A and B are shown apart, each in its own frame.
Chain A
Amino acid sequence: MLKYGIPLVLCLALGVFLFVGLQRDPRYVPSPLIGKPAPEFTLPSLQDANYPVSSKELLGQPWVLNVWGTWCAGCRQEHDTLLAIARQKAVPLIGLNWKDDNVAAQRWLQQLGNPYAVVAEDREGRTAIDWGVYGAPETFLIGPDGTVLYKHIAPMTMEVWNAEFLPRIEAARAAKGSQS
């Protein structure tokens, strides 16, 4: 019994591991930034290069960073969802325009509507590298103390927003409220 039992159990265990492995999406790479301080940036605003957008100004409240570009199909796909999220006015939604053409990006916002409180222009892609961005659209949630709370890699949906972002935003607000 033992002679056949042990190899059988080992085989089944290996099968389970491989089967679980098949279900996982290799395109999803978990961010090492979660729970760590968000990388700081100061970049020109998309609409007015003289007006700098700085991550420091956002400290003290939860906020969302959405990485997008006009060249990115998934960004077009999630745009209406972002507009709906912006209408909730739950948190400031900051755009990071990643390696894009300024004119095209401004036209995009004029034609489709602007969900962002402000958009930082990352023409050279350096801030995106600091944030470990590898494929737009990516959306980060940053806590009031400046730590990265969550990262969503794929077009934003209302389901993801309600399930992953809103509860964390409320928890961050509650934690901050009990401190002060």
Chain B
Amino acid sequence: MIGKIIRTGLLAGLIAFGGQALAIDTEAAFDDPVLQHRYEAINRELRCLVCQNQTIADSNATLAQDLRREVREMIAAGKTDDEIRDFMIERYGDFVLYRPRMTAQNFLLWAAPALLLLIAAVVLVRVVRRRAQDSDIEADGPEAGQS
């Protein structure tokens, strides 16, 4: 009984995660688990441009296969992750990255959350101060603070 549960659990685990371990390749690209991990990690960050909402780790389009081959060969040749990313950006532009870099063009986008928070804080402080002033000057009526 317990054996059956364990077996079922293992099978479910295999179905759920087995595919992810090897991504889409039929066999591991590297014998070395460290290199294999780097290979899979970088594949998951690169966009397959023909099948735009997939990474090259997800897609079996010929372009994705070719790009995985390039990544594999660059890792084997001892290139760093940054060098591999730069190789892709030079050819396909920033859009190839699923984790975008900060550049001059998209700086505003990166800064937007902080800027909005700052604006909200300024507005909040001014509103609170004005209400505090209003309630100081006026008598404590039910309309106090509303302008």
Contact = CB atoms under 8 A, between A and B. Distances in A.
| Main SS at interface, chain B | helix
A74 to B, nearest CB: 12
B92 to A, nearest CB: 5
Contacts of A128: 66
Contacts of B92: 29, 32, 132, 134
Nearest to A132: B91
A125 to B, nearest CB: 5
| Main SS at interface, chain A | loop
Interface residues of A, number: 18
Contacts of A24: none
A54 to B, nearest CB: 20
Interface residues of B, number: 15
A135 B49 contact: yes
Given A134-B49, A135-B50, A29 B95 contact: yes
Contact of B62 (A30, A99, A126): A99
A26 B92 CA distance: 14
A130 B88 CA distance: 9
Contact of B63 (A31, A33, A124, A134): A134
B93 interface: yes
A129 B67 contact: yes
Interface string B56-75: 00000011001100100000
Contacts of B90: 32
Given A125-B62, A129-B66, A129-B67, A30 B50 contact: no
Interface string A26-49: 110111110000000000000000
Nearest to A31: B93
Interface of A: 26-27, 29-33, 99, 124-126, 128-132, 134-135
Interface of B: 49-50, 52, 62-63, 66-67, 70, 89-95
15 contacts: A26-B52, A29-B92, A30-B93, A32-B90, A32-B94, A99-B62, A99-B66, A124-B66, A126-B70, A129-B66, A129-B70, A131-B91, A132-B93, A134-B49, A135-B63
